[in-house]
A and B are shown apart, each in its own frame.
Chain A
Amino acid sequence: MRISTGHGTRPPSGGVETFSWYFFRISGVALLFLAILHLLIMHVTTDVACTTYQFVALRYSNPFWRLYDWVLLTLALLHGMNGLRVVIDDYVRARGFRFFIQSTLGALTLVLFMLGTITLITFQPVAGALSTTHCIK
């Protein structure tokens, strides 16, 4: 382990891992508010059995909630997948397999991001769905 002496060559700065390090912390702070508020809305102010299609139609009639959910989706997915990337990096040492599994991870991230984004953008309630919210008994 290199002990700081105050002189000599400087450790490398910048780079992907440094960005990742900062990204975890910055996205983490944002997610602190985004995710906890999301939990409160979905479990406390409304019971989960009442988060029906109608409930979503009502929320998504306001573009703010679509955008909120999209920001939550993006940050949570990237924060989480980046974490998984680090975990894989820790335990998968074989170079070939690591390349394969990290690539799969990247592809999965992209697919899930697209799926979520498309859902948020294209959701259009069917006719009559904006009636009173009914819970699933």
Chain B
Amino acid sequence: MYRGQLGMWSWLLHRITGLGVLLFLLVHIVDISLLGFGPTVYNEAIALFGTPVVRVISLGLIAAVFYHAFNGVRIILIDFWPKGVRYQRAMFGIVIVFTVLCFLPMAYYVIAPVFHLPTNTTAVGM
């Protein structure tokens, strides 16, 4: 096996998160198309997304989106910024920090309804 370092692992994680988000997207296009079947059918499908199990799974999706997005910016900087390659390791650290910082508050909003914790949103259901 190729003994890559951080660059290889960041690439692999970028690939894995990309495929993960894509897989979700394929399901999402189909579930939204249920709109055509009217409110009863559609709302039943949406109710699934509010269940605790699916809320936890969507945390994985949210983390994947953030990592993929921020690492994508890092890739663009490596490609187009002359000093990009020199700072690629530091940038990966920043990617991880940003991913965690953006993920945590969002995760709270997603999980809070399960435990009836306060959020500022007026429209909250569970």
Contact = CB atoms under 8 A, between A and B. Distances in A.
A136 B47 contact: yes
Contacts, number: 124
A124 to B, nearest CB: 9
26 contacts: A28-B72, A29-B73, A35-B65, A40-B106, A43-B106, A46-B121, A47-B50, A47-B113, A48-B50, A48-B110, A49-B126, A52-B39, A52-B43, A53-B39, A54-B39, A73-B29, A77-B25, A83-B15, A87-B15, A87-B19, A118-B33, A119-B32, A122-B36, A126-B39, A133-B123, A136-B46
Interface string B42-66: 1100110110000100100010011
A90 B29 CA distance: 26
Contacts of A45: 121
A71 interface: no
A115 B65 CA distance: 23
Given A48-B58, A87-B19, A53 B69 contact: no
Contacts of A123: 35-36
Interface in B62-82: 62, 65-66, 69, 72-73, 75-76, 79
Interface string A40-67: 1001111111111110100000000000
Interface residues of B, number: 42
A25 B125 CA distance: 37
A135 interface: yes
